[in-house]
Structure 1
Amino acid sequence: GIIHVHEEHLCLVFEAMHQNLRQALRQHGHRRGIQIDAVRTYARHLLSALRLADRCGIIHADVKPDNMVVNDTYSTLKLCDLGSAMDADEAEITPLLQSRFYRAPEVMLGLPYGTKVDVWSAACTIFELYTGKFLFSGNSNNAMLRLQQEVRGKVPARLVRKAAFAAEHFSASGDFLAADKDRVTGCDIVREVKFGADPLPGRDIKAQVFAAGGGSSRLSDAEQRKALLLADLLDKLLTIDPARRLSAAAALKHGFIATKP
Structure 2
Amino acid sequence: GSKVDDESFTDLEGYYIFRPGDVLNGRFFATSKQGRGTFSTVLRVKDQADGDRECVIKVIRNNEYMKKKSLEEMQKLVLLTSKDPEGKRNCVRLFSHFEQRGHLCMVFEPMLMNLREYISKRGGRPLEITDVRSMGFQLLRALSLCKRCGLIHADLKPDNLLIGMDRKTVKLSDFGSSLHRQEVVRTNNGVPVTSLIGSMGYRAPEILAGISLDFPCDIWSAGATLCELLTGKILYKGTNDNQMLLLQMELCGNFPKKLVKRAAFREKHFGSDGVFLETKVDPLSKVELRVPRPDLNTPIKSFEKDVLRHVAKAKRKKRAEFANLLAQMFIMDPSKRPNVKECMKHSFFHSSAQ
- Identity of counterpart residues, as a percentage? 36
Higher strand proportion, which one?
2
What SS does structure 1 have at the residue aligned with 2:168? coil
Higher helix proportion, which one?
1
| TM-score, normalised via structure 1 length | 0.89
| Residue of structure 2 in register with 1:97 after alignment | 197
Aligned residue among 309, 318, 329 for 1:211: 309
Q: Which has the larger radius of gyration?
A: 2
In 2, the alpha carbon distance for the partners of 1:177 and 1:196 equals 10
User: 8 Å contact 1:149–1:195 — kept in the other structure?
Assistant: no
What SS does structure 1 have at the residue aligned with 2:278? strand
Aligned residue among 282, 285, 294 for 1:194: 294
User: 8 Å contact 2:97–2:105 — kept in the other structure?
Assistant: yes
Aligned residue among 12, 24, 27 for 2:118: 24
What SS does structure 2 have at the residue aligned with 1:243? coil
The letter for the 2-side match of 1:191 is: V
Report the RMSD for the aligned CA atoms in angstroms.
2.1
Are residue 130 (structure 1) and residue 230 (structure 2) matched?
yes
* Structure 1 residues 12 and 180: CA distance shift in structure 2, 3 A: farther
Pairs within 5 Å for 1:143-154: 143-154=243-254
Give the C-alpha shift of residue 230 in structure 1: 0.7
Give the C-alpha shift of residue 2 in structure 1: 5.0
In 1, the alpha carbon distance for the partners of 2:249 and 2:130 equals 29
Output one character per residue of 1:9-33: Cα deviation in whole Å (capped at 9) or x when no partner. Answer: x975421111110011112262x52
In 1, the alpha carbon distance for the partners of 2:98 and 2:197 equals 27
| Residue of structure 1 in register with 2:337 after alignment | 245
| Residue of structure 2 in register with 1:159 after alignment | 259
In 2, the alpha carbon distance for the partners of 1:178 and 1:12 equals 45
| Residue of structure 2 in register with 1:15 after alignment | 109
Runs of 4+ in 1 over 6 A off after TM superposition: none
Name stretches of at least 5 consecutive residues in structure 1 with no aligned partner: none
Aligned residue among 138, 141, 155 for 1:62: 155
| TM-score, normalised via structure 2 length | 0.66
Aligned residue among 151, 176, 186 for 1:83: 176
The letter for the 1-side match of 2:274 is: G
The letter for the 1-side match of 2:346 is: H
In 2, the alpha carbon distance for the partners of 1:162 and 1:144 equals 19
| Residue of structure 2 in register with 1:228 after alignment | 320
User: 8 Å contact 1:130–1:212 — kept in the other structure?
Assistant: no
